[in-house]
Structure 1
Amino acid sequence: LKDRFEQVKDQIPEDKRKEMEKLKDLKFDSDSISITAPMVGEIKMHIIDREEPKTIKFETENSPVPFNFWIQLLPTGEFSCKMKLTIKAELNMFIKGMVKKPLQEGIEKIADALAMIPYQD
């Protein structure tokens, strides 16, 4: 998965290019993900732990609200898996109301990008 982050834009099939337009502000490299969220700005996360092939854990590097984020993968067949993305943040009620929607949108964009990558070689 680490190498796939670097290749994500080149690996998205042509028929998914239209969906990719909504991901234009999502950036990957081998150790980090960054996304621009409405009303929040750029959020950058770097990998703090890898448990191949099932979990990748991220921590915010640049974010108005610190949080952790992880991707969990569960194989369901030889060439398929289920994916779960989770965010953990300590927020008071006022901040939660302001950042819940932008954080959710950011996670959904990351999930969309990961789901579009053809992982078979």
Structure 2
Amino acid sequence: MKQVQASQEAVFAKVSDLSNLQALKERMAEPDAQAKMAEQVGEDKVSQVAQYLENVSFDRDTITFGGSPMGDICLKVVEREEPKCVKMEGQGTPIPLNLWIQVVANGEEAAAIRVTLRAELNFFIRQMVSKPLQQAADGIAEMLSRIDYNN
């Protein structure tokens, strides 16, 4: 879980409209933001994230990841449970995929974000990809924790 200094309602308002994530993508392209992030996670990670974000697009209900060998992969909002949870499902994914963004109140002006990524995998594939899937969920949570929810 990642802690943020904003109310549960403010966080939910931002994460429930996925087009708000476009601002984060644009901010990541700024040299100042990249330098600040590099201090925390290292330059190699920053360039990796920046390159990855080049092929990502957002609208209110979807995040589309382009440039995959399998074609575009899309996560579409299927449920909004205000102010607690946004549930998404994979569209065009080779396996059934779900992503949940949970927002938990932690006082009046603080909240915690938990990202859960679930994929229906057989035992052998699960052994190979469970760690990268967890890293993806953790990376999304980290990205969401860097948003300014009070503006």
Task: Give the match for residue 88 of structure 1.
Answer: 118
Contact 2:27-2:33 at 8 Å conserved across structures: no
Q: Whole-Å Cα distance in 1 between the matches of residues 32 and 25 of structure 2?
A: 13
Task: Give the match for residue 6 of structure 1.
Answer: 22
Range moving further from structure 2, 76-85 or 27-36: 27-36
Task: Give the match for residue 52 of structure 1.
Answer: 82
Shift of 1:9: 2.6
Q: Is 2:41 the counterpart of 1:23?
A: no
CA RMSD of aligned residues (A): 2.9
Percent identical among aligned pairs is 33
Which runs of 5 or more residues in structure 2 are unaligned?
A: 1-13, 38-45
Contact 1:39-1:102 at 8 Å conserved across structures: no
Task: Give the match for residue 150 of structure 2.
Answer: 120
DSSP-derived class of the 1:77 partner = coil
Could you say which structure has the greater relative contact order, defined with CA pairs below 8 angstroms and 6 or more residues apart?
Answer: 2
Q: Whole-Å Cα distance in 2 between the matches of residues 41 and 9 of structure 1?
A: 21
Shift of 1:109: 2.2
Q: Whole-Å Cα distance in 2 between the matches of residues 57 and 41 of structure 1?
A: 23
Q: Whole-Å Cα distance in 2 between the matches of residues 6 and 62 of structure 1?
A: 22
Q: Whole-Å Cα distance in 1 between the matches of residues 111 and 147 of structure 2?
A: 13
Give me the TM-score of the superposition, normalised by structure 2: 0.63
Which runs of 5 or more residues in structure 1 are unaligned?
A: none
DSSP-derived class of the 2:34 partner = helix
1:99 to 119, 129, 147: 129
Task: In structure 2, give the amino acid aligned to 1:94.
Answer: F
Between Structure 1 and Structure 2, how many residues are aligned?
Answer: 120
Distance change in 2, residues 1:106/1:62 (3 Å): farther
Greater fraction of residues in strand: 1
Distance change in 2, residues 1:34/1:22 (3 Å): farther
Deviations 1:45-104 (A, max 9, x none): 111111122110010013222211100001213332111111222221112123223322
